[in-house]
Amino acid sequence: MTNLMGLSSHTTDALREVGLDSRYVEALIRATVAEDLDGGVDVTSVATVPAEQRSTLDLVSRAHGVVAGIPVAAAVFDVVSEGNVDIELRAADGDRVGPGDVLLSITGSTRDLLLAERTSLNLISHLSGVATSTALWADALEGSRTRVRDTRKTTPGLRVLEKYAVRAGGGVNHRMSLSDAALVKDNHVVAAGGVAQAFDAVRAMWPGLPIEVEVDSMDQLAEVLDAGADLVLLDNFTPDQMTNAVEFTQGRALLEASGGLTLKDAKAVGQTGVDFVAVGALTHSSPVLDIGADLRTI
């Protein structure tokens, strides 16, 4: 394996333009490539590919979907080749693509291209799958006020990228971590002795922090509205119950629907007037978008 080095300024700029930290992306790439090599070399490529050979590798969509992670995939080749690579971005994150669409083309050492291939495909295929699933929800909710957003049910180590993919697909993000917003759930309510008590405890300790409170009944909704909640999570409410909650709340707080909702529920949820629908499946269960790599020797 070649010695990994920092990203080129071009790749760093491409990542910054989409709101991604290049240091995080590079560290992730280093870890995944090191995992692939396991302290050795790519034995197949070293045996079959002349060291001096150069090629162009095209990453090509094999299916219809929404692409995300193009700059991330490019960064894999940049790092592995020590910057000795030419990268042409031929699509942008958020684009709707179809079979045969070339997403990016990379020219460099054939061995480096083949070493980087799987890591780049793993990342871009997964992120594009998240973006594609998100876009299906966004399309289904079009015309309503309801926006689809993610949860913290993310792959360990990939949260930043998966939540980025949600944005690329037309969704919005919930909190990124346990510290940037409070979410009072059923177990917090049990521990605190009641939903209003839990809300008051968080507000007292963190007066400027956004607080969302999970409720499972109209009585609890009334309690947290009186307490001053910013956002209320309606847990396992039916569409009719969501509509009642919207009418009862009268804009005093934002409302988010949650609890096993699937794409077939999207239209009904959008018609209720809730502000958000939380879909954990966007990040924990989206199928990958089929993306392949085609090599052209020079």
Q: Which of 214, 223, 256, 275 is the catalytic position? A: 214
Is 214 in the active site? yes
Q: Which of 93, 150, 162, 235 is the catalytic position? A: 235
Asked if 131 contacts 110 with a C-beta cutoff of 8 angstroms, the reply is: no
Question: Which of 156, 204, 164 lies closest to 184 in space, CA to CA?
Answer: 204
In angstroms, the CA 77 to CA 71 distance is 10
Asked if 15 contacts 68 with a C-beta cutoff of 8 angstroms, the reply is: no
Is 185 in the active site? yes
Say which residues have a Cβ less than 8 Å from residue 101's Cβ, sequence separation at least 6.
60, 61, 91
Structure tokens, 99? 């079979």
Is 118 in the active site? yes
Is 235 in the active site? yes
Amino acid at 86: D
Q: Which of 185, 226, 294, 296 is the catalytic position? A: 185
Q: Which of 54, 90, 152, 153 is the catalytic position? A: 153
- Cα distance between the two ends of the chain: 22
In angstroms, the CA 282 to CA 162 distance is 9
Asked if 11 contacts 22 with a C-beta cutoff of 8 angstroms, the reply is: yes
Q: Which of 54, 62, 90, 118 is the catalytic position? A: 118
Is 264 in the active site? no
- Strand 147-149 with 276-278, pairing: parallel
Amino acid at 55: S
Catalytic residue list: 118, 153, 185, 214, 235
